[in-house]
Structure 1
Amino acid sequence: MRHGTATGGDTVTLQFDGSPVTARKGETIAAALVANGLLAQGRARTGEPRGVFCGMGVCHDCLVTVDGRAGVRACMTKAADGMRIGPQAGRPDVRTGGTDLAPLPAAPLAEEAVDLLVVGAGPGGLAAALAARRAGLTVLVTDERPAPGGQYYKQPATEGLTADGQALQGAKLIAEARGAGIALRDDTLVWGAFREEAGLVVGVYRQGVAGYIRPRTLIVATGAYEQPGVFPGWTLPGVMTTGAAQTLLRSYGVTPGQRVLVAGNGPLNLQVAVELLRAGAEVVAVAEAAPAPWTRAATGAAMMAAEPALAAAGLRQLAVLAAKCVPVLWGHRLARVDGTDRATDAVLTGPAGAERRFAIHAVCVGEGFSPVNEIARLLGCEHRVRGDGATARLEAVRDDAGGTSQPDVFVVGEAGGFGGAHIAMAQGRLAGAEAARRLGHSVPEDAEARRLLARHRRFQAILWRVFAADDPGLSRADDDTPVCRCEGVALGVLRRTIAAEGVADLPTLKRLTRAGMGRCQGRYCMPRLATLVGRPAVEADFPTPQVPLRPVPVAALAVEKPEWGGHKRALLPPFPPLADTAPLGIAEAPVVVVGAGIAGLSTALFLARAGVEVVVLDRGHPNGRASGGNAGSLHGQLLSFDHGAKAEGDGGAAARTLPLQRESIDLWMALERETGRDLEIKLTGGLMVAEDERALAWLGDKTRVERAQGIECHVIGAAELRALEPALDERFVGAAYCPQEGKINPLVATQAVLDAAKAAGARVFPLTDVTAIERDAAGFAVHTQRGVIRAGRVVNAAGGFASRVGRMLGVEVPVFGAPLQMVVTEAVEPLVTCLVAHADRHLTLKQAANGNLIIGGAWTAGLDPVHHHPRPLRASIEGNLWVAQHVVPALRKLTVLRTWAAMNINIDGAPILGEHPAVPGFFNAVTSNGYTLGPIVGRITADLIRHGEAGRDLAPFSIARFKTAPEATRP
């Protein structure tokens, strides 16, 4: 509902779902729709209606289409006259409708240099920018919101709204920043951050155009987002965070409904309840989880003494609520919200468990905060785990000035840990001054800011003792309650998966259920998932943030790049010691496999099925490295860089591997039948497209080589290509078609092999680092941080790290780590059927069963310079996306959800299989194109261990083909 009337020249007219809607100029689409009673604005992937939830662009529940453009966040987009708006479908159909989301860049993405970039135009960011500018730095401040001020200093955005004292303070600070010559750039999404040799690079997106900022120093002032608990009905339209309701009210004069319940924990709820009353809403109750403050009288008195003005403001709010007969129910929590297409009733539970029901139009929930810390984490700033249970979160390790473990990155305010606006402003002043000092400017010490910081920290500590309340965790949720809002994954599914698969880590739970893999990248569900698999102890227990940090149009980042100079053979990252030193509980085994990826687990499966006792050791979790990061292609034909001038050697090694690929695909299908699991295997056929007659002739030569190896592959013309894949660009004159190619879901397939291996008797030990292998006449002593295990035979299935295992035994295994990237788009209705590749350019493209488009093609990734794990390079992201949209133009209508990288393998185009001639009992099971070949590599290795032969000629795959491999000294 609107507070006041929108009339005359201050209004615009929109259409929503075909019906006219009146909006005030300056309102966001979300505010306009809520004002007109349209709380259901978008659709979840599962089809349920969704509406405004966070109000700050984090949750992506309010997605709408605008003039044919999908994926528009209604809460972050200004309404304009004549807009045609519709609900965002769970999976849009871009074959028959939709508009490109951004123009293709006409040139390389622009780069802008600045002394200091401040991300976040809230109190902390603005204070930091002013301090730095006054010290002489050039300063740019970006903010994702439509206007500066942040959550605390929300500014009125429409005519006729009266700013209160808090907003006026913000307006003064904003004016000071502009007057000081600080560039304030709103509506600017920071989608990525990179640490390169030349310094920091920050990716931004604004008004359809992407680019980069190169700051000498970065201050992260991105604040926090509200983290309400999980309860039945929390995804219904009409349920929103308290902050979202306050944004609607303060910036746009809109209340979420006439009858509103405010529930949760903390003083913000009281403030918003009072503001709703003053705007004309009926607040049916305020439910506060903490007990009444007069039960903690000494703490209340201490709060009054620490900061009398702020404490008095809280008392005035309680007085206003009492005067309006609004019940403040201390010790009560929101238990559930009922309704079908929107919230209609809310149920509270009190200290004795008694329920109270309220008929409502909206529910505002504020139960805690999580820092927006992804930028700092991407840049390697150290974080520590804080909180317990469902509130477990990462907070930046920083000093009073926001200085982090990285000297060019500061984190101020709630981006590093919740503390309120006054702490953020004091810390911002200190950070801006210190940033200037580090860039060579002389800046006096700001003693007043340090005093304010200390004072407000004391006040906040006392305040949260007054509002201390137990965390309910997931106790309010039932099995049908979705824990992951984006993917619609319910609590019951999570619990059954954990029980059935023995899941003990967040990444595995993500892979098996897709929880945390949606648009919000797990920001809401990760703390809940953590309670299900055990409290995280260190940063590495949390999933790594991925770029883009928010969905970005494919077209905005698509820039043509040079594509091939051979695989980048990266130095392998160092491994820090593992903390788990609990004894293995096993002293010996006939066979020890090093590596729990698909090759190692397949080896264990076939050995265990034959009755061989086998132990698998992995430094991480099974499927946690290259196999788990695989794009899931089942390759039957040669890749474009495995034939001709681009191929390793003469391409013969890759060609000789083709029969193994065909056989391994058959074995994958057999494993699907045997395990009774849906591995999402589809032999859709594979296309390698050609843009001209030269490329078509090259494909003809390639297919002759493939047919000589028993692969069904032939060249088709343009008409047949169109019939197979109408979504491909019309520029293509033909393709090589291999009906034996397809796709698989590695997220579930490796788990199925793991389960089958364990069911057959294999023992798998995660978080077990093989530190040395010694050899004697009796076999091998495999040393780990959890003890020594003796083995008769050792299998090296360590993938990109196989060379390290070889060196432990004094032999060179010529395997190089080659980090490669993958990209995934939002889900859409079926767009492409086949596995698509390009004859001249690096591309693999396919559509997963859930509708996401997965884009790869061996584009080089790098190693994170701090944590040393594989990470996509911005040039590869741009180039990969350019090729993808060049082949399938409809991709320009989609956003990129995330990118990731994994340590692939570079050998010579063929696997290394078999017993090492210089080290009897030491077997290599290492291959590039590893996911396709995983099962056959495992079966061959098992046959060699059991019988000494595999019924086939393995000479082309022996390590002996590398003439320079040194001999080991025999014992």
Structure 2
Amino acid sequence: MSKQIRFLFEGQTVTARTGQSVTAALLQHGEMAHRITTDGTPRGPLCGIGACNECLLQIDGRIAQRGCMTTVTQGMDVRRLPARPDLTQAAPLAACPDEPIPTTTCDVLVIGGGPAGIAAATALAQGDVRVIVTDERHMAGGQFFKQDGLGSAPCDEQQRRGQQALAAMQEAGAQCWTDTLIWGAFREKDGLTIGALRNGEALYIRPRFVVIATGAQERPAPIPGWTLPGVITTGACQTLMRANDALPGQNILITGNGPLNLQVAREILRRGGHVAALVEAAAAPFRRPAEAARLATLNPRLALTGLSQITTLRRNRVPVLWSNRLVRIEGQDRVEAAIVVDARGHETRIATDTVCIGDGFVPANELPRLLGCVHDFRATPMPHLTVRRDGNGATSQADTFVIGEAGGFGGADIAWGQGHLSAQAILHLMGRPVASATPWARKTTRARAFQKALWQLYAAPPPPSPATLPDDQIICRCENITLGTLRARIEQDGITDPATLKRATRCGMGRCQGRFCGASVASLTGHITTEKECVAPQMPVRPVPLAALAREKPEWKGHRRTVLPTDRPAAIRATPAQTADAVVVGAGVVGAFTALFLAQSGLRVTLLDRGPPGAMASGGNAGSLHAQLLSFDYGAPTQGLSPAARTMPLQKASIALWESLRDTFDRDIEMKRTGGLMIAQSEADLERMRQKVTVEQSIGVNCSLVGADELRRLEPALTPQCLGGAWCPDEGKINPLAATLAVLSAARRHGVQIVPMADVRAITRTGDGYTVGTTAGTWSAGTVVNAAGSFAARIGQLLGLDVPVHGAPLQMIVTEPVAPMLHNLIAHASRHLTVKQAVNGSILIGGGWTAGLDPVHAHPRPQRDSLEGNLWVARSLLPGLDRLHIIRSWAAMNIDIDGAPILGEHPDCPNFYNAVTSNGYTLAPMMGRITADLIVNRSTPTDISPFTIARFADRTP
């Protein structure tokens, strides 16, 4: 029997039982609201498995702690999490040791300690294989074998089976690491590396094989009121009862579709709770006698269990509303009632304080997607991806197996069988003796037949489309994005894919990374058929304390180039040629500005992009506006100004142009001249800054040296160890997600034809003009502008031209949002770093750390060393970052030239213009303006002689 303990919640004493989660302890005392959103409304726990991040609390000063995953302790101080926590009042989340992050090896890593993972690990360990099993919870068992963390309630059959399975796994010799969060997966030259956080400390695991058994998650459909405290998933309710011996409320409504809802309703009654009603979308089983009979034939025991559950509800006078669906939840600051509707459209209002929604499950597939396993799109029961695998769980990647519900919902029996089958397959690959797989194959075949019959019995009409909901309906819970906002952007920007809608609205950019809004976004943007059209997962797949990953790493000067991904064969689409005065290749921010200014001058302009417009470097940019030289662009001058230094006046003019244009756009681009500080931490840094400022002042850059006292006045969050730095009041920031789409929208309003998915495959000279052949059609134009960014060299090659542009993928990192703490754009005098705070409160960390190309998909992806090193440099300047989680990292293909842009008409190819630069976001308006001036007027007020391609004339290709 667990003992009573006391802790504080909002300054008031609350009692709990040893082993309970903080969320369970609060709910049993009627405290449903955990965090406060940006609009001041309260939110409470939803999923119960740490995926939704709605149960966030401030615990003992540490912000954004998941209440459902944190065990209560004596004297703990718990407070609701404000929308923007004040870091000056927060405690560090983790230590940042000086030693490297440790690495451990094993033969097989099994991620997930549910039935599938336990079965696989046990069979592998029995085959004398070194196995590590990780589970994020305090106790393994998964949702099905969920163990009682308090040791106070008698075990039922599921828990007894779980105890026996866990004991067998331990006896076989498999290591089981609980409280272990898997946050990332990397394919590296020498094999797999899995990033983990065990008991708050970072480590890496290097397995020969990985078995992903992460299960599934519930994904409730959005309806009015679904964000009220007191709305949880059915699985969360079961977790509260089985693992915490707690009920979520006093009067509980169970809704949704499927047999789990029946089971949970009966468990509530067994624990003395009250069930207001069970609302089931499917018709009553007695109305489908043929389906019910087939189910009973396939598995009489489970069929009788279901009948017993229905009988128990009737005996306890629980209303069971078949063929009904939840459509609305009512309440002020918490649930007060639910509205359900039957097949005839008749509404019933049910008084309740807790609504458990069981709409269905989707695979937790972030890790197999990160590892490059092929996935297929499934539209039912809700839009989602499922990994392509065989009966043993083998995927398209030979070292990766996906078993159980991580590959598709099927129940515990199938998961258990797949665990054994995957183990035998891996043992065979390792050359170890294997047992016959036939018995397990037969069992899983029978289990699949039963599951098919079960869901034929529970077949229900599809839920209403999110498009039928009102405009004020919140779709993205993390970012508080409404359906009206999504509709407006889809209509205004012509968006047809989830990734662009995500960039346009921030929908899916919060802590849960779109797990709960992704299906709605997919349904709003049109028909999706492939994995490529879905939003990609990002590391960390769960928020991780910044300090836990920060480690000092070697640095370099400049950018590391990479070979661009090889284009897949694709034919030019055979269509009649369209005509334009100018074709601009590349719909990033530079190309968009070029097209806009050309259209404003009266030209007919077509803007082509190989993907969705603004999706590459411009969509992955961190949004810094640079007016002084970056640390890796400055070198002590020996023979005149460097190319980067010559560009400084152009950057100053471009920032001013951004500022003059921002009120002309149809949305807030969140531009602000904050000023920029480049920080010196050593005497060598200070001397470097003195030389740099001297050069900059000589060419008119508004930059000056500041001492330590002035530095701290300008930026109090900086470490006291800073000695001084360079201050430039003209620097600032912009939101590239909004700004790129704003420029594209302006171009569209001025008549620019914007063509996505138009990969240019041929350019031929035809008299005084050109014919441009693409995968989306053919265009004839008098002028072509090469604004293709990192792909500019390939566009040049189509005309036999050498355009010396190289790809250089770079990474960015973003934290959770906090109260204002940074006032300036921060950079380092001798290290790769830029830091700034976005309007939404997130801290953006970048500065030129190299990224790599994903070896499977060939798109940019952050690397381990860069993540660690970038974070280390950031926290060395801003120690308050130790109090923050990172919630996302990403990479984009930047470009490397020589520090200056390439502008102007190519001397060997009349009417072919280059508009390419590595500092694209700062320079974009001026790049577009100058290029348009040259095309329309054949001249420009700006001297572009330092930026023409002629400066590379003596270069050896």
- TM class by shorter chain equals over 0.9
Aligned ranges for residues 323-402 of structure 1 at < 5 Å? 323-388=315-380, 391-402=382-393
What residue number does 2:734 align with?
744
What residue number does 2:934 align with?
944
Question: 1:230–1:476: 8 Å Cα contact kept in structure 2?
Answer: no
Counterpart of 1:75 in structure 2: which amino acid?
Answer: C
Question: 2:784–2:911: 8 Å Cα contact kept in structure 1?
Answer: yes
Aligned ranges for residues 289-300 of structure 1 at < 5 Å? 289-300=281-292
User: Secondary structure, in 3 states, of the residue corresponding to 2:583?
Assistant: strand
Q: CA deviation at 1:325?
A: 1.2
1:66-110 CA-partner distances (Å, limit 9, x unpaired):
110111101011111111111111110103x11100001230000
1:70 is the counterpart of 2:63? yes
1:538-595 CA-partner distances (Å, limit 9, x unpaired):
001111110000000010000011111542110101233579x877775221211110
Selected match of 1:850 from 824, 840, 843: 840
Counterparts of 1:325 and 1:70, CA distance in 2 = 44
What residue number does 1:887 align with?
877
Selected match of 2:789 from 799, 802, 807: 799
Aligned length in residues: 956
Counterparts of 2:669 and 2:32, CA distance in 1 = 39
Normalized against structure 1, the TM-score is what? 0.97
1:629 is the counterpart of 2:617? no
Q: CA deviation at 1:778?
A: 3.8
1:58 is the counterpart of 2:59? no
Question: 2:900–2:918: 8 Å Cα contact kept in structure 1?
Answer: yes
425-434 vs 769-778, which moves further: 769-778
Counterparts of 2:700 and 2:113, CA distance in 1 = 62
Counterpart of 2:40 in structure 1: which amino acid?
Answer: G
Question: 2:466–2:524: 8 Å Cα contact kept in structure 1?
Answer: no
Counterparts of 1:922 and 1:183, CA distance in 2 = 63
Selected match of 2:669 from 658, 676, 679: 679
Aligned ranges for residues 98-137 of structure 1 at < 5 Å? 98-137=90-129
User: Secondary structure, in 3 states, of the residue corresponding to 2:160?
Assistant: helix
Selected match of 2:11 from 13, 18, 22: 18
User: Secondary structure, in 3 states, of the residue corresponding to 2:673?
Assistant: coil
Q: CA deviation at 1:307?
A: 1.5
Q: CA deviation at 1:468?
A: 1.2
Q: CA deviation at 1:478?
A: 2.2
Counterparts of 1:323 and 1:12, CA distance in 2 = 37
Aligned ranges for residues 243-642 of structure 1 at < 5 Å? 243-388=235-380, 391-472=382-463, 473-474=465-466, 477-576=469-568, 587-642=578-633
* 1:358–1:924 distance in 2 versus 1, CA, 3 Å: same
Q: CA deviation at 1:651?
A: 6.1
Aligned CA RMSD, in angstroms, stands at 1.6
What residue number does 1:664 align with?
654
Question: 2:930–2:942: 8 Å Cα contact kept in structure 1?
Answer: no
Counterparts of 1:576 and 1:416, CA distance in 2 = 28
Counterparts of 1:608 and 1:577, CA distance in 2 = 33
1:110-168 CA-partner distances (Å, limit 9, x unpaired):
00000000000000000111111122210000011111000111101113211101110
Question: 1:560–1:882: 8 Å Cα contact kept in structure 2?
Answer: yes
Counterpart of 2:585 in structure 1: which amino acid?
Answer: V
Question: 2:764–2:770: 8 Å Cα contact kept in structure 1?
Answer: yes
Counterpart of 1:176 in structure 2: which amino acid?
Answer: A
* 1:797–1:886 distance in 2 versus 1, CA, 3 Å: same
User: Secondary structure, in 3 states, of the residue corresponding to 1:644?
Assistant: coil
Counterparts of 1:821 and 1:413, CA distance in 2 = 33
What residue number does 1:3 align with?
none
User: Secondary structure, in 3 states, of the residue corresponding to 1:314?
Assistant: helix
Counterparts of 2:642 and 2:467, CA distance in 1 = 60
Q: CA deviation at 1:676?
A: 5.2
What residue number does 1:157 align with?
149
Counterpart of 2:217 in structure 1: which amino acid?
Answer: Y
Q: CA deviation at 1:190?
A: 0.3
Q: CA deviation at 1:491?
A: 1.2
* 1:650–1:370 distance in 2 versus 1, CA, 3 Å: farther
User: Secondary structure, in 3 states, of the residue corresponding to 2:204?
Assistant: strand
Counterparts of 2:367 and 2:743, CA distance in 1 = 36
What residue number does 2:82 align with?
89
Counterpart of 1:946 in structure 2: which amino acid?
Answer: V
Extract unaligned runs of 5+ from structure 2: none
1:916 is the counterpart of 2:909? no
What residue number does 2:818 align with?
828
What residue number does 1:953 align with?
943
What residue number does 1:760 align with?
750
Counterparts of 1:648 and 1:362, CA distance in 2 = 73
Q: CA deviation at 1:442?
A: 2.5
1:599-639 CA-partner distances (Å, limit 9, x unpaired):
11110000000001110110111110000100000000000
User: Secondary structure, in 3 states, of the residue corresponding to 1:333?
Assistant: strand
Counterparts of 2:146 and 2:435, CA distance in 1 = 31
Counterpart of 1:440 in structure 2: which amino acid?
Answer: G
1:508-536 CA-partner distances (Å, limit 9, x unpaired):
11111111000000000010011111121
List, as ranges, runs of 4+ consecutive aligned residues in structure 1 with deviation greater than 3 Å: 576-579, 581-586, 647-651, 964-967
What residue number does 1:871 align with?
861
Q: CA deviation at 1:440?
A: 2.2
Counterparts of 1:574 and 1:651, CA distance in 2 = 36
Counterpart of 2:328 in structure 1: which amino acid?
Answer: R
Question: 1:129–1:177: 8 Å Cα contact kept in structure 2?
Answer: yes
Counterparts of 1:471 and 1:483, CA distance in 2 = 18
Q: CA deviation at 1:45?
A: 3.6
Counterparts of 1:756 and 1:764, CA distance in 2 = 11
1:775-819 CA-partner distances (Å, limit 9, x unpaired):
232421211123321121111111011111111111111000000
* 1:578–1:188 distance in 2 versus 1, CA, 3 Å: farther
Counterparts of 1:490 and 1:875, CA distance in 2 = 38
User: Secondary structure, in 3 states, of the residue corresponding to 1:237?
Assistant: coil
Selected match of 2:681 from 677, 682, 691: 691
Question: 1:335–1:476: 8 Å Cα contact kept in structure 2?
Answer: no
